[in-house]
Chain A
Amino acid sequence: MSVSTPKERRIILKHADDPNYSNRIGCYLREGGYGNLKKAFSMQPEEVGEEVLKSGVRGRGGAGFPAGMKWKFLDRKSGKPIYLICNADESEPGTFKDRQIMYKDPHQLIEGMMITAFAIGAKQAFIYIRAEFHEGARILERAISEAKKAGFCGNKILDSEYSCDLVVHRGAGAYICGEETGLIESLEGKRPNPRIKPPYFPAVLGLYQCPTIVNNVETLCNVRHIIEMGGEEFSKIGKPNNTGTRIWCVSGQVMKPGYYEFECGSLTLGQLIFDICGGLRPGRSLKAVIPGGSSAKVLRADERFSGTLKDGTEFDWGLEDIPLDFDGPMAAGSMSGSGGIIVMDDTVDIVEAMANVNAFYAHESCGQCTPCREGSLWMRKISQRMCSGGAREEDADLLLSVAKQIEGRTICAFGEAAAWPTQSFVTKFKDDFIRKATDSPKERDPKSLQLI
């Protein structure tokens, strides 16, 4: 390991892999759990919101919007009940951090949620968890009932006048339920077709057309730590505009894939891949990295990224130099998204990799908007044909033209999520796409895994 590589700083995952720590309330209380709920209840709800605003914490679900600001948008004048929803649908390919929190330390999420519920004055709170997490839902149910018995949740929390019930709601395998307005439709018992913004900003017209806050699991856990440290102290972790830690989920072709929590901006993509994750398999070299879940634009190993950061500093990075925070991958033309980093080595057939991603988005499009429904299907069909011996030189441009007709023409950001992989794969690896048509070997290289 090189000298400068920083160590993990585990705040959210502090107890995740501790053999002496279970997901029961006893362990959580032993480690000072629910002390911050008490602290929050000694404050005014607005003060709690102020601390979160001061902390600068940005949403960990993908968009990276400041959580305190989101809470500020809440329509409090309407007189309608306010709802809090935890987005635990974790479904962006490459992401597996919320799973660790919910299975291993569920009370941390419950405490963060009850502090948040108190701060925004929520009447009721929900955890929308993906249905594949069978045991996760049971763990949360049990943890909630433990918390209720101890007075941390439900009726008259901590003997105060404030009550808020917390309900675990299971999805049923649809990626689109991770989109917050799709999630709300699903929670209302409907098909999860996303709603158009404006006017349906959840903070104004959310669940049952009432003001609603939807936050990711990791974001809500951060609230607990913000109250513990104070917003000001929390904001000193990481970098300005990129505060706190982030859990990076590394998958694909590295020696030690897994989840790693670091202060924002404390290490580079190269350090994560080559030092922390043990690099690639012997004899392999890096081909491409998707830095923020499969919808993020792919980065090519030999690309150069240059420009000027928001604070005015100029940068000129190779892929390995990209700082891991919110702004770094963004400056490199992609995004840190949900923190899912997918690594591909030189054995990967890049056209197949794109075809795999396209098959995902074609399967998961909700079908509400024509450009996305039809476009994602055509991108799948074209890329699958390319991989089964029918590639043509003009396919690269055809794919780009389909992707371009989806982007910006749909109700929700799924359109972009489906278009960006194709746009970036084709543009950055055009040679591979042309070669598929002109010079594709009959036999698969035995080292190259089938991806479609």
Chain B
Amino acid sequence: MDNSINLSDDTLSKIDEVVPKYPEKRSAALMVIHLVQDELGAVDDASCEWIARRLELQPINIKELITFYPMLREKPWGRKHVRVCRTLPCALRGSYGTCKTFEKKLGVKEGHVSEDGEYSLEFMECLADCGQGPVVIVDEKTYENIDGKTAEKFADLLIDGKLDESDDFNSYEDSLTQGTKN
């Protein structure tokens, strides 16, 4: 198989692992797209063509997925991607204010990437954690109860690269009881 889009060996082997899990190759399309996008940040035309060849499909079969699903991208987000939930339960707890704070602090309009490519902001639909809204996802971690005011401090820590070490904001994922107690 050619590797014209320069994927890492790790991604290539994950793709080789995931495709045979399905009775039909086409079913693996979303999972392969995710793996490519996770590494490259987006799925451009060359990547569509490569994925199509890998799954014995036409490029349009991949392109039509990229252009339909909200989380699939033709152009990459910023190096740090912030998602804020817009839907009613979070809005009832102030998520419009949260989004505004991030726009101001990160210097980027929602739906866009900052000029230096560092941050991007997405005001998106329900993230299924409505009980603790407003919900914010940074890359792959979910933070709860981030209203407009809290978001100021949150954004400062994010910009300083100190969010992970801060005790003020523990992600939903990090608050799970860890596997050591089995």
- The count of chain A contact residues (Cβ–Cβ below 8 Å) is 73
Distance from B136 Cβ to chain A, minimum over Cβ atoms (Å) = 12
Separation of A449 and B94 alpha carbons in the complex (Å): 6
Whether A451 contacts B96 in the complex (CB less than 8 A), given A22-B177, A135-B140, A167-B22, comes out as: yes
Q: Are A95 and B177 in contact (CB under 8 A)?
A: no
Say which residue of A21, A131, A294 sits within 8 Å of B34 (CB atoms).
A131
Contact residues in A for B129 (Cβ distance below 8 Å): 96, 99
Could you tell me the distance between the alpha carbons of A294 and B72 in the complex, rounded to whole angstroms? 25
Asked if A449 and B91 sit within 8 Å, CB to CB, the answer is yes
* B42 at interface by CB-CB < 8 Å: no
A189 interface residue (CB < 8 Å to B):
yes
Across the interface, B88 reaches (CB within 8 A) one of A27, A93, A104, A186, namely A93
Q: CB-defined interface of B50-65 with A at 8 Å, one 1/0 digit per residue?
A: 0000010100010011
Which stretch (B107-115, B120-128, B150-158, B160-168) binds chain A? B120-128
Complex interface bits, B22-55 against A, C-beta within 8 A gives 1, otherwise 0: 1110111111011000000000000000000001
B76 to chain A, nearest CB (A): 16
CB < 8 Å neighbour of B140 from A124, A134, A342:
A134
Residues 331-352 of chain A, each 1 if its beta carbon lies under 8 Å from chain B, else 0: 0000000001011100010000
User: A226 vs B33: C-alpha distance in the bound complex, in angstroms?
Assistant: 38
Q: Which residue of chain B is the closest to A364 with respect to CB atoms?
A: B125
Knowing A22-B179, A24-B182, A188-B27, the reply to whether A132 touches B137 (Cβ < 8 A) is yes
The answer, yes or no, to whether A187 is at the interface (CB within 8 Å) is: yes
Q: Which of B26, B27, B88, B179 has most A Cβ within 10 Å?
A: B88
If A21-B181, A22-B181, A451-B92 touch, whether A169 touches B30 (CB-CB below 8 Å) is: yes
Point out the residues of chain A lying under 8 angstroms from B93, CB to CB: 251-253, 449
**A294 and B88 in contact (CB under 8 A), knowing A95-B128, A103-B176, A172-B72?**
yes
Q: Does A94 contact B (CB under 8 A)?
A: yes
Within 8 A of B (CB), among A65-114: 81, 90-96, 98-99, 103-104
Give the residues in chain A near B16, CB-CB below 8 Å. none
Judged by a CB distance under 8 angstroms, whether B1 is at the interface is: no
* Max chain A C-beta neighbours (<10 A), residue from B24, B26, B129: B129
Whether B128 contacts A188 by the Cβ 8 Å rule is no
Can you spell out 15 A-B residue pairs with CB atoms less than 8 angstroms apart?
A24-B181, A24-B182, A27-B181, A93-B130, A94-B88, A174-B70, A192-B68, A249-B130, A251-B130, A257-B132, A348-B92, A353-B88, A356-B86, A363-B125, A366-B68
What would 5 more interface pairs be, CB under 8 Å, given A27-B181, A357-B88? A20-B181, A93-B126, A258-B132, A342-B89, A343-B92
